[in-house]
Structure 1
Amino acid sequence: MEKYHINEFISKTKQQDKGQGLFELETDRILEINLENQIWAKTGSMISYRGNIKFEREGILEHGLGKMFKKAFTGEGASIMKATGQGKLYVADQGKKISILNLADESICINGNDLLAFEPRLKWDIKLMRKIAGVLAGGLFNVKVEGTGMVAFTTHYEPLTLLVEPGDAVYTDPNATVAWSGHLTPDFVTDVSLKTFFGRGSGESVQMKFEGSGFVVVQPFEEVYFSEKQ
């Protein structure tokens, strides 16, 4: 085949069915969802679809007043949409790398900005980090997802998972923290000596502290969040 011919480009980049089930990594940065009923996905993440699929923004009232108030308090909220129907749905988020987890009666907390898609059979709730909300621009919130089913999240570049063990706390930059074990509850600590090095996005030396048994996922990038209210 002639080098750089259009047919060569199509052959290299065309969509392929890999038979991986509901969630399929078409590339490291594009998720294919083989939709048969319904899925939750980050608002604005749809880049293409084929078939008969209907999209609607998440109705916060169907999840109860608790979630509605949390969403109002966080400003940007965990902005998700519901995709319903049959077909192939392709989602992505600013070229970020996608990771897929198949939870088996497990739970994970994911930064609200990094949550890409999850099955509706999974339970979810928005958790606001009130202790740090006034420090980081727009606050910091996460979504706790639990049960049995698939969830996809994104990271800038490759994620690093750090194991948390008793007596050996793990400290992370909030702006670089993506996800952690659902049973862990991070604390927030400050260190004046690190003020000029740590938490550059906030101007404060705020660190997340994880203790116990579990894991925390970080990315090699500091993401600064801004509320829609600002």
Structure 2
Amino acid sequence: MSIEVHNPMTLPVNDNVPGNDYAFCVELAGQPWFTAKGAMIAYYGNIRFEPLGQTSMVAIVAARFSSPLYANDWVLAQGQGKLILGDRGFNINSFDLDDGNLTIRAANLLAFEPGLQLKQSIVPGFLTLLGTGKFLASSNGPVMFAEPPLRIDPQALVGWADCPSPSHHFDADWMQSFLGAARGMLLGANTGEERQFDFTGAGTVLVQSSEKVVNDGHLLKHIESETVSLGQNSLRALHQSIGARLSQQQ
């Protein structure tokens, strides 16, 4: 079996490692990149990884990163060299925005150039990129691009560009049963066949070729942040609901 051994000269510039859809090589040549913590798997050269709260490039962070909820999950990679990124064996693709507007699942976003601005989406667990530049995203299998109108399994959704945020669509037969609907919405006992995201208008939807979503701790952070506005009675009710679900899963 022939094994290809890479070095800085054979690695690509801002592209997947040849023959490897699960690793991506970014060339740093003075321009920094925002990268998700844990995405770096190797690098050549003189590259520094600075937490956003302790970076020497405060102006770039202030202008380009507007999501305090996720700030601890990102670093600023800067210097000279080639940086190889990966995400637990998931497919990695690069995408180019040209004065665009794209919302992506936070767990899928790996890196982006500072020409793009990151904001926190109003949709839980998602982030929005604005502007012009390149970004990297992981997916469980290759990504398909689809035009609205479209309904999609929530687990298969990677993101959407230049179209309105989706609404929830619940299957009519499933909704006829109040107990079934209550069980699904409160305890999560529903599937893509019962609940979908409904996209309308113009734009593009990014769909991964699997219903298995990447492990998403970002949604938990969003939920925790929302509990700050809850009173004691609401917190007790939430505690009881979570306890019931944990008992059901044991």
Change (3 A) 1:83 1:16: closer
More strand by share: 1
Partner of 2:201, secondary structure, is coil
User: Matches of 1:150 and 1:85 in 2, distance apart?
Assistant: 18
Which of 185, 194, 210 is equivalent to 2:199? 210
Following TM superposition, by how much is the alpha carbon of 1:114 offset from its aligned partner in structure 2, in angstroms? 0.5
Which of 11, 15, 26 is equivalent to 1:33? 26
The residue type equivalent to 1:212 in the other structure is G
Which of 152, 172, 177 is equivalent to 2:152? 172
Matches within 5 A, 1:1-230: 4=1, 8-9=2-3, 12-15=4-7, 17=9, 21=13, 23-26=14-17, 27-37=20-30, 38-59=32-53, 63=62, 67-68=67-68, 71=69, 79-129=73-123, 140-164=124-148, 169-191=149-171, 193=173, 202-204=188-190, 205-219=194-208, 220-223=210-213, 225-226=216-217, 227=220
| 1:67 and 1:125 in contact (8 A); partners too | yes
User: Matches of 2:134 and 2:72 in 1, distance apart?
Assistant: 18
| 2:153 and 2:195 in contact (8 A); partners too | yes
Partner of 1:34, secondary structure, is strand
Partner of 2:67, secondary structure, is helix
| 1:18 and 1:24 in contact (8 A); partners too | no
TM-superposition CA deviations, 1:38-82 (whole Å, max 9, x none): 0011110000011111112333995499732xx1xxxx7782221
| 1:78 and 1:113 in contact (8 A); partners too | no
Following TM superposition, by how much is the alpha carbon of 1:85 offset from its aligned partner in structure 2, in angstroms? 0.9
The residue type equivalent to 2:67 in the other structure is K
Partner of 1:113, secondary structure, is helix
More helix by share: 2
The residue type equivalent to 1:142 in the other structure is F
Change (3 A) 1:192 1:183: closer
2:239 equivalent in structure 1: none
Give the number of equivalent residue pairs: 199
User: Matches of 2:204 and 2:26 in 1, distance apart?
Assistant: 27
Following TM superposition, by how much is the alpha carbon of 1:15 offset from its aligned partner in structure 2, in angstroms? 4.8
Percent of aligned pairs with the same amino acid:
24
User: Matches of 2:169 and 2:7 in 1, distance apart?
Assistant: 46
Following TM superposition, by how much is the alpha carbon of 1:160 offset from its aligned partner in structure 2, in angstroms? 1.7
Change (3 A) 1:111 1:82: same
Partner of 2:173, secondary structure, is helix
Gaps of 5+ in 1: 130-139
Gaps of 5+ in 2: 225-241, 243-250
- Whichever of the two has the greater Rg, that structure is 2
| 2:94 and 2:137 in contact (8 A); partners too | yes
User: Matches of 1:113 and 1:78 in 2, distance apart?
Assistant: 14
Following TM superposition, by how much is the alpha carbon of 1:191 offset from its aligned partner in structure 2, in angstroms? 2.4
Q: TM-score, normalised by structure 2?
A: 0.68
4+ long deviations beyond 6 Å: none
User: Matches of 2:163 and 2:130 in 1, distance apart?
Assistant: 10
